[in-house]
Amino acid sequence: MEPRNDTDISAFLLLGFSEDPELQPLVFGLFLSMYLTTVLGNLLIILAIISDAHLHTPMYFFLSNLSFVDICFTSTTVPKMLVNIQTHSQAVTYAACIAQMYFFTLFIGLDNFLLAVMAYDRFVAICHPLHYTVIMSPRLCALLVLVCWFLSVLQALLQGLMVLRLTFCTDIGIPHFFCELKQMVQLACSDTFPNDLVTYLASVLLGGGPLAGILYSYCRIVSSLCAISSSQGKYKAFSTCASHLSVVSLFYCSGLGVYLSSTATHSSHSSAPASVMYTVVTPMLNPFIYSLRNQDVKRALRSLFGGKA
């Protein structure tokens, strides 16, 4: 039977990682533990920043926003997968799939923009330390976050509207554990060239732009560090942006790894395990990266729990 266009499609099937019943409890336990760790870790970062007046600075303001976005980012994909495993169902309604795709695109865009804004904050702090408090005013910080939200909402809305114009075939199986934009477009029976064009332009402009800004900021930071004569001064200056640099490397390297793995194997199934790195593991590791080597955050956490005790 040949595939036919079906404009009244009501549900998709999330094929996930494995249909083996023996592996389902292991997958459920693993993802549940990672999800709870992500939510708890990022929530502690937010509470520590709010409770400690010493952390009411632009750097930690952006960090608290990043932690909030990471919670939302992971919550768009993992809970639905856990529910499907628990109920032994792979179905997701058409409306829920579109909504999941929209919010996933929104929050991954926010992650991208916030990392660029945090790189700019570190650039101003290291390259223009005397004018830092004037440049990074509370008004500018709030404006930068609002711009990040505006661009991310606009991008996600455009991508969602482009998917709504597509018609889908009887093959409704998505070889992933969530409704990813690329996978949904590949299932369409109608012309997907406009979708591919919009996705390409969005990747170049809204994805490459922040990355270029991050690279430029760190090039200027490195040149400024080279001008510092004392090794202790260099270490102190670099330690202020080491955590952010680690998160940036993890985010972009994992995303690039997903793209290269799917391109090299030409298989949609291979992207599902690789996507776990930037959709689940990276948001889970971010609180540890920012807290383990950050004495200010450690002090705030000790004060938070000590005050409650």
**Distance (Å, whole) CA 176 – CA 104:** 14
β-strand 11-14 against 91-93: which pairing, if any?
antiparallel
**Amino acid sitting at position 131:** H
The SS3 of residue 68 is: helix
Cβ atoms of 132 and 104 closer than 8 Å: no
Question: How confident is the prediction along the chain (309 residues), in pLDDT tens digits per residue?
Answer: 344 444 457 788 888 776 677 788 888 999 999 999 999 999 999 999 999 888 999 999 999 999 999 999 999 999 999 998 888 888 889 999 999 999 999 999 999 999 999 999 999 998 898 999 999 999 999 999 999 999 999 999 999 999 998 888 776 888 888 998 888 888 888 888 999 899 889 888 888 899 999 999 999 998 888 877 777 767 777 777 788 888 888 888 877 766 666 555 545 555 667 778 878 888 998 888 888 767 888 888 888 787 544
The token duo for 15 is 């094929």
Would you identify the CATH topology of the domain 11-292? Answer: Rhopdopsin 7-helix transmembrane proteins (1.20.1070)
**Distance (Å, whole) CA 169 – CA 220:** 51
